[in-house]
Each structure stands twice: as structure tokens, then as C-alpha cells.
Amino acid sequence: MAFYGLTFNTNNLGGNRYINSFLSGAVEFPAQFLCFLAVGRIGCRRSFMSSTVLTTVCLVLTPFIQQVNVWAGVITAMLGKLAITVGYTILFIFTGDLFPTMMRTQAYGACSFIARFGSILVPYILFLGTTVNGVLPYTIMGAISLLSAVAMFFLPETMGLPIPDTLENARSQDSFRIHFPCSKENRIKNTNVL
């Protein structure tokens, strides 16, 4: 949602709409390079969480910075677009790493199907900005970006692991997930030890 929201909203940022559109497309090239570096060094999970948190910060700040200086608002929005492009690309990499071979194509299809709901809602959310309040679309997209970073926190890190071939291999990646002391499985383990 944030990726398409920032892409569709380039004409509404103020300043020259042609320069804004050019910048919106131009930031995708360095974003792919940053994605390559980030995934190779810190893994998909941390890279995605970092990029979406940066996107959230940029989305929340953009409408307020725009009121002070139009070009500073455009730069903040483009920085958010760069960050969410990194996160958007990482999702495709991470989906392939997370699911076993026999389910990978179906997982890509299901994830793309669900992702289209966000892109379908974007024009309506941007319309809220023109009818209700100009800050509202940025707030909604920022909240959803932050929620996706929190959701990614509960998935396992796949960096350095082989791509799972079977469902059992995919389930064994659960050991690389963060386990909380108050979770149900840890309470069961602790009661069995006692």
C-alpha cells in the first residue's frame, strides 16, 4: 500500500509534477542496489523491518514538512519511496526463502493476491486526503507500514539457510524465529521441565 500510495501521490506533492514523477521512478534504481547490499549483509528480515520503519517515519513527516517547504516534502516522500521499494523487493526474496519448493508458486500467487487489496485501496485512501484531511493518507499508509514491520518480527531469519525443499525443512526454520518467554510453547516446555 505504501509503495503504490507514494507512487500514485507524486502529482499531489507540490512543485513540478514532471520532476516529481521522474524522481519517483529514479529512486527505484538505487533502491535495488541498496536491497542487494542490505540482504547480503544483514538478511531479509532486518532489512525489511528497517526499510519499513524508515518508510513510516518519512510518511508521517512528509505532510508536516510540506507545509514548511515543498521541495523538502518532496525529498522526504522520495526517501520514503526509496525505503519502501527496498522493502517491496525484499518481500519477493523472503517469500521464496520461506516456503518449500512444492508450495513456492502457490505462496507467491497468494501473497500477490493479498497485496493487490492494498493497491486497490490506495486511490480511495488518497481521495480521503483531498476530501477529509491531507494528513490522513500518510497516517494510514504509515500505520500499515509499521504494522508490516511488526509482523515481520515474528518470522524466521532465512539468511545463510538453504532454501527449504520440503514442508519439514520449512518447519525446521522455526528454530530461527524469535521466541518470547511468555509464549504458549515456552510455557509448555517450562512446565514439562519442572
Query: What angle, rounded to 10 degrees, do the helices at 44-68 and 136-153 form?
Result: 160
Question: Distance of alpha carbon 17 from its chain centroid, rounded?
Answer: 25
pTM: 0.79
Mean pLDDT score of the chain, rounded to an integer? 81
Confidence of residue 165 (pLDDT cuts 50, 70, 90): low
User: Which of 78-82, 155-159, 175-179 bottoms out in mean pLDDT, i.e. has the lowest?
Assistant: 175-179
- In order of their start, the domains of the chain are 1-179 (1.20.1250.20)
